[in-house]
Structure 1
Amino acid sequence: MTTTALIDIPTVYALTGFSSLVGAMILIGLRGDHRECGPALTLFAAGILALGIGFLSFAVRGDVRSSLVPTVGHFTFGASAVLIWLGSRHLYGVATRPAVAAIALASYAAALVAMREPTAAQAMGRIALSSVFIVAFMGLAALEAHRSRWVKALRSVRLIRGLLVVFCAIVTVRMIVFLAQGIPLQADGSAPPGVLRALFAVIFGSLPFAITVSVLSIANSQLSMRLRQMATTDDLTGLVSRRSLQESANRLLGQPAGDGCIALLMIDVDNFKMINDRHGHGVGDQVLRHVAGVLRQSLRPDSLIVRYGGDEFCALVPVPGEAAAFVVAERLRATMEASPYRLAGGRVAVTLSIGVTAHRHGKTLRQLLDEADRRAYRAKADGRNRVVAEDAPVAA
């Protein structure tokens, strides 16, 4: 029994068309649960809907068909590739290019209309044109997945990348075989059943379901990561939040220190209430962001910098030894003093009072925080804009 006897291609197309419509409805229905990914889900839903329309157009049988049906089918397949490319760019956080998509689709539609006659030559032209167009945009969608910052973190991104690459390979092979062997044309200008067309129908038919599952998996994973980031990151400054300090600090303190140690700096912004009262809370927030930026630029990249609360920051910094902890804190204090926050028509002077301690065997994080906090309080009491460290003089 032949493959085409086992597989009724129009039935496969019809079932795939209806399943595509269901997939599109699922993506549209779940947009509310993924607000940040909502536009991407809409584009993917539109792409899958276009696939469904294309499949349904090729599923039409007998005298209901016309010479325009293959043209409509090829166009909707091409449109689906463009929409999936746009959806991929949005899903991975890349700016979409609707103008490029519109120009490409308009040119593609015009070329298909010019090849609408039911002749073997024009049928071959339609297949070649649609294959190149689909491979180009599906390939671009695979490239977006490959270049995405999510590709290493999420298996679903690697899955959809592999799926799109395999699909492009199948479409390319199909086009080459048709061009090499020719197509025995049916009366309406469409290609007759065959092993290659049956294989294409089955694999192409699995694409809408696979895309729907993969896109939802990516959206769910991104949502989970964003929720985790919200739980561990301070909204205002982008630094580590106080509620995740314990976990992050234990990881850093548990690493072998070698000949060095971990310095803990408790950092208070001087006269922050006065800044808020004089310039308003909006400027106060900008000052805190400015301080966070100076901390990032001044301390080592492997430091743990935390928004401890209000106008307080905390930093755990690997240093060569306990004496170096004071040097690091003093350099930070001097950098901040020389970096006022600039606003229209003036500037806001910002200084820091810093208490310093060093991690020694047997001390808990809580003990280190209390020790550094006492020294930061002493720095403020002694006149602000200074560093207080164990066995170290107060910096003027």
Structure 2
Amino acid sequence: MAMTTVLFDLRTIFLVGGCTAALGALAFEGLARMYRPAAAAMRRYALALAAIGAGMSLIALRDSGLPEWLGYVGMNCLQSAGIVLTADATLRLFGRVQPAWLLGGQLGGLAVLWAWLGSDPEFATDRVLATSVLHLACSVVCVVAIRRTGSWRQQPYVRTLATFFTGYALIHLLRVVAALIGVPATAGGVFAPSPAQIGFVLAFALSPIALAMIVQMMLHARISGELHRRATTDELTGLHSRRHFFELSRERLREPHARDTVHHLLMIDLDHFKSVNDRFGHAVGDRALRHAAAVLKKALKNAGLLGRYGGEEFCALIRSCSDADANRTIDELRRALEAAPMRAGAATIVLTASIGAVPVDDSESLERLLVHADQCVYQAKTEGRNRVVRLGEMMAEPVV
């Protein structure tokens, strides 16, 4: 009677696993429509879980009237296709696409393997070894692919996905070892009544839905990160957006040690930028803005914050030890831009900037101070451009 109960329980677990895998496949199909940049990977995951779910259902229905080849060869083909497609989807998710012929060759080779191993009880251990080695290899491929990405250390859910595949690989490694040393649970087949086999079946049945949940959380984190990036970053230059620049500036000015540091708010306006657009076109104008942003960011280093205010205008908050030190830093920005011309075909474009600088005493007056900085920029332009004006005081001689 106890034997019958265990058999029923294991079949039920496989049947439930098949249903949850099918739900996971539907979830991935929904994610493909929600997150188009990863749609190909999501649909490959959906196909993988559909195959795994069908394979689990065939295991649950084995010896219950199904043709013998379907319960063994068909099931193993579906399970193998599922893990291979899972590995392919994971590679796609992290920007690595394997050729279609290679994927097709893997699937075709596995079909031949399972047709050869068939359903003969003498090959039961061989089938266990083949299954677990395949799942182990695909899991290792996934872990290696994930660890090679730049998001490995930056996104917690990416590490969680790697941990999932690592755990899955260890489970199959243990099963390979058990098969090699002839553990009775492994030799007894998929419905062997032992705690080890029940534990393996549970892990195997729950892994598809666990995978779906982890990938879903990872994609939601990606979407949130992308929305945050778009809200805080200027799309063209990669600098802080105007709103985010002021938020960061207020945070910096409220820090406890801010009172011991001299801060200046800058308005940086590129000179004669309209003529660049008129002469070379807006595509070159966009390049010029990106070039100016890169030069200013490199020159500023860790001395402050830099953002794009709008059009050809940039804003910066610099910190320094004294007014004299601030003056040197500000004029270095101007000189760095002038000393870094850019090429546009056969032409050379020399970018310069008029800079207005205003000292900052508190975090609540930034917008008002920026008006004064803009007035300084206006004075710099009327006095000859390519210079710095600090509250009406010239900080650089006119450039002739």
When the two structures are superposed, what TM-score results if normalisation uses the length of structure 1? Answer: 0.88
Written as runs of structure 1 = structure 2, the 5 A alignment for 1:60-209 is 60-62=61-63, 63-67=65-69, 69-91=71-93, 93-98=94-99, 101-116=103-118, 118-120=120-122, 122-146=123-147, 148-151=149-152, 154-181=155-182, 191-195=190-194, 196-209=196-209
How far 1:223 sits from its partner (Å)?
0.9
Aligned length: 392
Paired residues of 2:185 and 2:192 also in contact (CA < 8 A): no
Aligned to 1:359: 360
Paired residues of 2:139 and 2:169 also in contact (CA < 8 A): yes
Equivalents in 2 of 1:225, 1:258: separation in Å?
Answer: 33
Structure 1: unaligned runs, 5 residues or longer = none
Equivalents in 2 of 1:136, 1:332: separation in Å?
Answer: 54
Equivalents in 2 of 1:51, 1:4: separation in Å?
Answer: 26
Written as runs of structure 1 = structure 2, the 5 A alignment for 1:245-324 is 245-255=245-255, 256-257=257-258, 260-301=261-302, 303-324=304-325
Equivalents in 1 of 2:199, 2:99: separation in Å?
Answer: 33
Paired residues of 2:245 and 2:306 also in contact (CA < 8 A): no
What's the secondary structure of 1:227's corresponding residue? Answer: helix
What's the secondary structure of 1:84's corresponding residue? Answer: helix
Equivalents in 1 of 2:9, 2:120: separation in Å?
Answer: 23
How far 1:126 sits from its partner (Å)?
2.3
Which stretch shifts more, 45-54 or 295-304? 295-304
Q: Describe the shift of the 1:351–1:157 C-alpha distance in structure 2 as closer, same or farther (beyond 3 A).
A: same
Which stretch shifts more, 189-198 or 376-385? 189-198
Percent identity, please.
30
Aligned to 1:17: 18
Paired residues of 1:3 and 1:198 also in contact (CA < 8 A): no
Equivalents in 2 of 1:185, 1:276: separation in Å?
Answer: 73
Equivalents in 2 of 1:64, 1:19: separation in Å?
Answer: 22
Equivalents in 1 of 2:303, 2:76: separation in Å?
Answer: 54
What's the secondary structure of 2:358's corresponding residue? Answer: strand
Paired residues of 2:334 and 2:353 also in contact (CA < 8 A): yes
One-letter identity of the residue aligned with 1:193 = A
How far 1:4 sits from its partner (Å)?
6.8
Equivalents in 1 of 2:107, 2:24: separation in Å?
Answer: 23
Equivalents in 1 of 2:185, 2:222: separation in Å?
Answer: 48
Q: Describe the shift of the 1:344–1:5 C-alpha distance in structure 2 as closer, same or farther (beyond 3 A).
A: same
Paired residues of 1:145 and 1:157 also in contact (CA < 8 A): yes
Q: Describe the shift of the 1:393–1:76 C-alpha distance in structure 2 as closer, same or farther (beyond 3 A).
A: same
How far 1:190 sits from its partner (Å)?
5.7
How far 1:278 sits from its partner (Å)?
1.6
Aligned to 1:51: 52
How far 1:98 sits from its partner (Å)?
3.8
Aligned to 1:349: 350
One-letter identity of the residue aligned with 1:194 = P
Equivalents in 2 of 1:74, 1:149: separation in Å?
Answer: 35
Equivalents in 2 of 1:18, 1:393: separation in Å?
Answer: 73
Equivalents in 2 of 1:162, 1:130: separation in Å?
Answer: 21
What's the secondary structure of 1:30's corresponding residue? Answer: helix
One-letter identity of the residue aligned with 2:233 = T
Deviations 1:150-174 (A, max 9, x none): 4555544344333322222222222
Equivalents in 2 of 1:360, 1:184: separation in Å?
Answer: 75
Equivalents in 2 of 1:352, 1:382: separation in Å?
Answer: 13
Aligned to 1:385: 386
Equivalents in 1 of 2:202, 2:374: separation in Å?
Answer: 67
How far 1:383 sits from its partner (Å)?
1.0
How far 1:24 sits from its partner (Å)?
0.6
| CA RMSD in angstroms, aligned pairs only | 2.8
Equivalents in 2 of 1:302, 1:43: separation in Å?
Answer: 47
Equivalents in 2 of 1:306, 1:284: separation in Å?
Answer: 18
Aligned to 2:221: 221
Deviations 1:316-371 (A, max 9, x none): 22323221222222222222222222122222221111112333358722243223
Equivalents in 1 of 2:235, 2:133: separation in Å?
Answer: 46
Q: Describe the shift of the 1:90–1:277 C-alpha distance in structure 2 as closer, same or farther (beyond 3 A).
A: same
One-letter identity of the residue aligned with 1:240 = H
One-letter identity of the residue aligned with 1:198 = I
One-letter identity of the residue aligned with 1:89 = L
Structure 2: unaligned runs, 5 residues or longer = none
Q: Describe the shift of the 1:48–1:301 C-alpha distance in structure 2 as closer, same or farther (beyond 3 A).
A: farther
One-letter identity of the residue aligned with 1:347 = T
Equivalents in 1 of 2:190, 2:12: separation in Å?
Answer: 16
Deviations 1:107-130 (A, max 9, x none): 44444343336142x332222122
What's the secondary structure of 1:384's corresponding residue? Answer: coil
Equivalents in 1 of 2:387, 2:185: separation in Å?
Answer: 88
Equivalents in 1 of 2:266, 2:185: separation in Å?
Answer: 79
Paired residues of 2:19 and 2:53 also in contact (CA < 8 A): yes
What's the secondary structure of 2:120's corresponding residue? Answer: coil
Deviations 1:219-277 (A, max 9, x none): 11211111111111111111111122221111222232475423322110111111112
